[in-house]
Amino acid sequence: MSTREIAFPVPRAAPRSRPLAHLVVAQFAAVVALLAMWIVSEKFLGARSGLLFVVIGTPLIALSTLTVVVWAAWGIRWQKVVVLLLAVVADVGLLSGTSTLRRAGDRMFFETRRSRLDAFAHDIVAYGRIRQMSDGARSFTELNGQLVTSSRAAADATPQLDAVPARPLAQVLARDSIAAQRYEEFRQRLRELKVTQLDAEPGFVAFLYDGMLDNLEGYLLVKPGASPPAMRATLFGAELVRLEALGDGWYRFATT
């Protein structure tokens, strides 16, 4: 009887985990995803979020990418080179796609408010006594082309702009036969919609989102049978330079 040595297969050792590699890749992916969401959500976050992105977001993506570079250079292997190249591609894609992401976010912002803006524009036209007004959250509050303040004392203390003195709000409300309750309702609706001013013209109703200096942006609804304002027309005190149709009479505008 012959005996043979029986060899049992030896299981292969499981590959060693690479927690550092996983951590580096995960932090970079998280930063890119976070910044992409930030860009899309800028309108929802407020006008200052764009500036915060430059101050915080840009250094953050630079630091995250630098982390990948240092990790890849430490004991360089082809797998690390691939990850580094993918990180560079992601950086370039994020930077080059910023305008596309912003447009997508802007459209989302508008569509989530379209029905309420429709109703608000209808109420503005139906009421007919408020032609221009701001939400009162800025240094100067406007109503029908007049700077207004809460009281006579505040009006006297307010610096004059273009030689037009500020007037107490109650005085302007009485002058234009505007109910105080209606004024407060409109102001609250502006704030809820995250738009800062309205302007009711004969052919359209415009809502200002925000902007810096003369670089303003917002939305306007053209009345049935009317035409949108012409390029270079004055809107919110600035020159209209862009109109983008959004459907059903709505346009996105920008000024300079």
pLDDT tens digits along 25-44: 999 999 999 999 999 999 89
Clarify whether residues 143 and 240 are in a common domain.
Answer: yes
Q: What is d(CA 143, CA 133) in angstroms, rounded to the nearest whole number?
A: 4
On whether the CB atoms of residues 203 and 217 are closer than 8 A, the answer is no
Question: What local confidence, expressed as pLDDT, does residue 93 receive?
Answer: 94
Question: What local confidence, expressed as pLDDT, does residue 17 receive?
Answer: 43
Is 0.85 surpassed by the pTM of this model?
Answer: no
Instruction: Report, as ranges of residue numbers, the positions in the chain whose pLDDT lies below 70.
Output: 1-17, 139, 151-164, 211-213
Question: What local confidence, expressed as pLDDT, does residue 14 receive?
Answer: 45
Clarify whether residues 204 and 139 are in a common domain.
Answer: yes
Write b or e for each residue in 168-193: b if 16 or more Cβ atoms lie within 10 A of its Cβ, otherwise e: bbeebbeeeebeeeebeebbebbeeb
220 phi, psi to nearest 5 deg: -140, 145
Domain holding 74, by residue range, is 19-108
Clarify whether residues 249 and 196 are in a common domain.
Answer: yes
Question: What local confidence, expressed as pLDDT, does residue 169 receive?
Answer: 94
Clarify whether residues 245 and 125 are in a common domain.
Answer: yes
Question: What local confidence, expressed as pLDDT, does residue 163 receive?
Answer: 53
Question: Is residue 168 included in any domain, yes or no?
Answer: no
Question: Is residue 162 included in any domain, yes or no?
Answer: no
Question: What local confidence, expressed as pLDDT, does residue 151 receive?
Answer: 54
Clarify whether residues 34 and 137 are in a common domain.
Answer: no
Clarify whether residues 102 and 214 are in a common domain.
Answer: no
Closest-CA residue to 228 (of 204, 244, 209): 204
Helix or strand run (H / E) with residue 50: helix 49-52
Question: Is residue 170 included in any domain, yes or no?
Answer: no
What residues contact residue 57 under an 8 Å CB cut-off, 6+ apart? Answer: 35, 38
Clarify whether residues 134 and 225 are in a common domain.
Answer: yes
Question: Is residue 243 included in any domain, yes or no?
Answer: yes
Last residue of a domain, one of 51, 84, 108: 108
Using the Cα atoms of residue 127, residue 129, residue 130 and residue 131 in order, give the sign of their dihedral: positive
Question: What local confidence, expressed as pLDDT, does residue 112 receive?
Answer: 96
Clarify whether residues 102 and 126 are in a common domain.
Answer: no
Structural domains in the chain (count) = 2
